[in-house]
Structure 1
């Protein structure tokens, strides 16, 4: 019996001499452009050449870290493979970061080499990056640098011999406050995760993994690229996610699998239906936070099963699916994990969820808490951030920062982030639970729920709502819909509602909640864009938050000394 490779370097080396399709890119159905195709062997050659270049370019004594500021071009997986072969690590740099924040990410991760592309060079102008050498892909100078290494092979050049404990990724995890933290991911942990997903989804050489989520984020690498490496599937790249091009790409590449994060599924559902929506090879999508309603709609329209998973780049806790999983659940604790839903205020385990006949939560205030791993943890720390490590592993437990509830059979259900918890009239609410209810409204294309300060104490519920194409907001119909939801608690109905053409998203296609919370129910600053309408609940109905109502509301905040809570940070 052949032993599975224990490192990503071994997985790359397995490509050597294999002339099956390994990497595809550049398809453009609108212009009739067919995809470029590279064999698995060619991919390994390109990775080996860059590994040799990396070893020669790194200054003596420098940390073996290379920053990668690229869209999903072939150069990104080339450098991932190069770092693996060389025993080095890649820091994925987010191209939506700007100025000192972007420079901070490069310098914080001790990158002495930064790989970018001409389109991103404007982001680097004027930045102070002492000791950092910038390589610009797609240029003559870059090609000249690589030329002497064209005959390099796997294992020919290393900074240090790659092993299961070798750092491979320094991937930034975002938060609502503070600078992003760089989570450490080793080759052994990443290879094991890839093998696990490849087995779970029966990935084989006939599969094509469509990578449309950004490779600077852990989702695309860990849940899409790595299972393809482990299962022998081809990889197809999309530079940036595009809902309008999704189906054309899937058909052009013959894709069978993709990953999603955030609200990408909602934007796909918002595209105009086509007669050929099911004319493709796609069989599976794997990701997070699609929601049960949208997952069902996606399957009905496109004929593709969506599998919701749970896992963070940090690797501190895992939830595994089982054949008997009920609708809406993510699974049970993974092997070796001791997962519990803990009330962070008391440190005690929350009671089991009470679900009605339709599987809807009826005791959310008591049952929802933070998911904690009280057993072993695969968390490998944050780069040069001991305070963040201590907060994540306090009291000897791994605190995920995510809200969950658990049913009496032990199945776990995601309820949002701890940052997305609201406290209304002394009752704790989870944004994701309210979002899942609001998503049932037929007119809704996308929904986000978040807290705005109450004028007296605590929070109020606010929602941002994007409508389906051709729909208009009917306040009476919306109020009637809310009244008909049996699991909508008395504190859950949004007090404020902003109707948008589309919800703002981050570079990883997650809802930009910080921007929504910052805006609250206030109009944009002077000179800003045309304000999206805001509605507020009065009694059982909704009416526009006009200038007179807004003035009275702000006066109430002033009277209670809470006006500054609404100021945009």
Structure 2
């Protein structure tokens, strides 16, 4: 029996996140840790209730019950997630790597009637045309915020979810499994990021599923170091902790050097990761006490088989790779017999297949050599689809993108009703799925999904360029890197210092968007229909005959900080790095 009188079985049957938050009430075990701050589950539930009551006061009548959260991983983030759940409202995770008009667009597009932020983020908002009046922008580390919250600190979770109202407009709603809870941005081929929807029922179900899969215990501590505006930290970290009655430990932003000290300080047993985070951890200096910690496992994506093995050898922690589209439309689950390099098999309830994106025909199974290298990539690599019932809930105010994801709106369309992931996979003869990259206009850089069209629109302002194409080249370790081809105007020359200054002057250039590689040429290659031939550009990558400039790859050297000409020695060293991580074959796709 749990400390608050709620049995584990009753908690596992919770159909909404609101029910999971209510189950914290009366539980005086530690529920959250952040720096020197410790909150019990009971305090978290009470704090969420107070914020939910405040929502009832501040949300204007008739407005969508949406609040933007522009915060680092601080206790206020899970408190507001829980408050939104109790109030039947939804949180839009606002990405602080976005800039200028694009950041304002994210807030406006998700119809945020309230913005929760902190002093450290205020410079990002300066001068922006926001749809939210200043009185509804709450700065959580400002004394005025505590004064505003004070009158509601006696609220209880039951009082909110039973239909209790704020003193003002009464904008809170009784939640149910279909209530929107998350609007989190993902990128696609249409350029502007799309806000994927996640209901309380889907998030609660994901929490229960992961809690069961990883055997989450009430004495576990989930270390949340990935940003909470992404689905990874919320769906794979916070939700299973909430479902399993575990605690969370928060890190404002990921730090490789602080990772093990934090794990030891908080007694963390589980963490989530994406992309290059594992490489950053492996890049820290080895120490004799690397295995002196409490971690049991890590769960994430794109670590790569080589680095996962290195991580296990060095830190004694098994990494479990998984795949799940941000929108919830398809999921692959690792099984004990999953071979190195593979993601796993289709998760229960998923009817996954690798198909030709034009015909919808399932492709032949992949043939691998004894070393695990793909022998028939041309015929076996295609788009991953879910032909069964998916949990995809659509995009906010974007019916075209929603329809495109399921190929709806048209009789007789190939694969209509399926969930099309937009990701490339192959499937081996034993039924295991292997990730093979992104479709043409999508890039995944250091865990961020980007759209090539958006970056092209920015680079098109570069005066010496007559034409621009942006495309992905494989990262030596995980995900992609941004490469740009610039067709220079007659008489123009590429000035690396001038290009750095140009990038620095673009207000809407996100921190992950700067090209790692820049290829200069007289004209962009085109297809017979006069479209830019991105496939040809991707295949040659940095191995092309034209001049290529690059920002050297290192965790401490962000792309766009400096550029120098790629030499033969640079190219050889890069190719060796790809071989070391068993990713050289990706360069030829």
Decide: shared fold, TM above 0.5: yes
Deviation at 1:97, TM superposition (A): 1.3
**If the length of structure 2 is used for normalisation, what is the TM-score?**
0.75
What does residue 484 of structure 1 align with?
none
The whole-number CA distance in structure 2 between the counterparts of 1:363 and 1:501 is 30
- Residues 462 and 204 of structure 1: CA distance in aligned 2, closer, same or farther (over 3 Å): farther
The whole-number CA distance in structure 2 between the counterparts of 1:43 and 1:417 is 39
> Which of 143, 153, 157 does residue 156 from structure 2 map onto?
153
Q: How many residue pairs were aligned?
A: 472
The within-5 A match list for 1:1-12 is 2=10, 4-12=13-21
The whole-number CA distance in structure 2 between the counterparts of 1:535 and 1:448 is 21
Q: Deviations over 1:518-560 (max 9, x none)?
A: xxxxxx8xxxx5424413599xx8599xxxxxxxxxxxxxxxx
What does residue 109 of structure 1 align with?
110
Deviation at 1:364, TM superposition (A): 1.3
What does residue 399 of structure 1 align with?
420
The whole-number CA distance in structure 1 between the counterparts of 2:358 and 2:118 is 47
SS of the equivalent of 2:122 reads helix
> Which of 9, 24, 28 does residue 19 from structure 1 map onto?
28
The whole-number CA distance in structure 1 between the counterparts of 2:265 and 2:483 is 43
The within-5 A match list for 1:383-532 is 383-394=396-407, 395-419=416-440, 439=477, 448=480, 458-461=536-539, 498=550, 500-502=552-554, 530-532=562-564
8 Å CA contact 2:366, 2:376 repeated in 1: yes
**If the length of structure 1 is used for normalisation, what is the TM-score?**
0.78
The whole-number CA distance in structure 2 between the counterparts of 1:496 and 1:151 is 62
The whole-number CA distance in structure 2 between the counterparts of 1:297 and 1:12 is 38
What does residue 295 of structure 2 align with?
282
8 Å CA contact 1:168, 1:186 repeated in 2: yes
> Which of 255, 261, 272 does residue 285 from structure 2 map onto?
272
- Residues 51 and 530 of structure 1: CA distance in aligned 2, closer, same or farther (over 3 Å): closer
> Which of 303, 313, 318 does residue 326 from structure 2 map onto?
313
SS of the equivalent of 2:211 reads helix
What does residue 254 of structure 2 align with?
241
- Residues 143 and 542 of structure 1: CA distance in aligned 2, closer, same or farther (over 3 Å): closer
SS of the equivalent of 1:138 reads coil
What does residue 567 of structure 1 align with?
none
What does residue 560 of structure 1 align with?
none
> Which of 193, 215, 221 does residue 202 from structure 1 map onto?
215
- Residues 495 and 421 of structure 1: CA distance in aligned 2, closer, same or farther (over 3 Å): farther
Matched, 1:339 2:371: no
The whole-number CA distance in structure 1 between the counterparts of 2:368 and 2:173 is 53
> Which of 137, 142, 146 does residue 143 from structure 1 map onto?
146
Deviation at 1:419, TM superposition (A): 3.2
- Residues 282 and 168 of structure 1: CA distance in aligned 2, closer, same or farther (over 3 Å): same
8 Å CA contact 1:205, 1:231 repeated in 2: yes
Deviation at 1:421, TM superposition (A): 8.7
The whole-number CA distance in structure 1 between the counterparts of 2:104 and 2:218 is 40
- Residues 118 and 537 of structure 1: CA distance in aligned 2, closer, same or farther (over 3 Å): closer
Q: Deviations over 1:89-117 (max 9, x none)?
A: 00000111112111111111111100000
What does residue 549 of structure 1 align with?
none
The within-5 A match list for 1:298-377 is 298-377=311-390
8 Å CA contact 1:91, 1:171 repeated in 2: yes
The whole-number CA distance in structure 1 between the counterparts of 2:79 and 2:321 is 29
- Residues 364 and 495 of structure 1: CA distance in aligned 2, closer, same or farther (over 3 Å): farther
Unpaired runs of 5+ residues, structure 2, are: 1-8, 164-171, 408-415, 444-470, 486-520, 526-532, 575-589
SS of the equivalent of 1:91 reads strand
SS of the equivalent of 1:80 reads helix
The whole-number CA distance in structure 2 between the counterparts of 1:252 and 1:409 is 43
- Residues 297 and 15 of structure 1: CA distance in aligned 2, closer, same or farther (over 3 Å): same
The whole-number CA distance in structure 2 between the counterparts of 1:543 and 1:414 is 25
Q: Deviations over 1:500-521 (max 9, x none)?
A: 152699xxxxxx9xx7xxxxxx
Deviation at 1:344, TM superposition (A): 1.4
Deviation at 1:269, TM superposition (A): 0.7
The whole-number CA distance in structure 2 between the counterparts of 1:204 and 1:20 is 13
The whole-number CA distance in structure 1 between the counterparts of 2:540 and 2:253 is 30
8 Å CA contact 1:452, 1:461 repeated in 2: no
8 Å CA contact 2:321, 2:334 repeated in 1: no
Q: Deviations over 1:214-262 (max 9, x none)?
A: 0011100000001101111110000000011111111111111100012
The whole-number CA distance in structure 2 between the counterparts of 1:504 and 1:400 is 32
What does residue 459 of structure 2 align with?
none
Deviates more, 1:154-163 or 1:249-258: 154-163
What does residue 162 of structure 1 align with?
175
Deviation at 1:431, TM superposition (A): 7.2
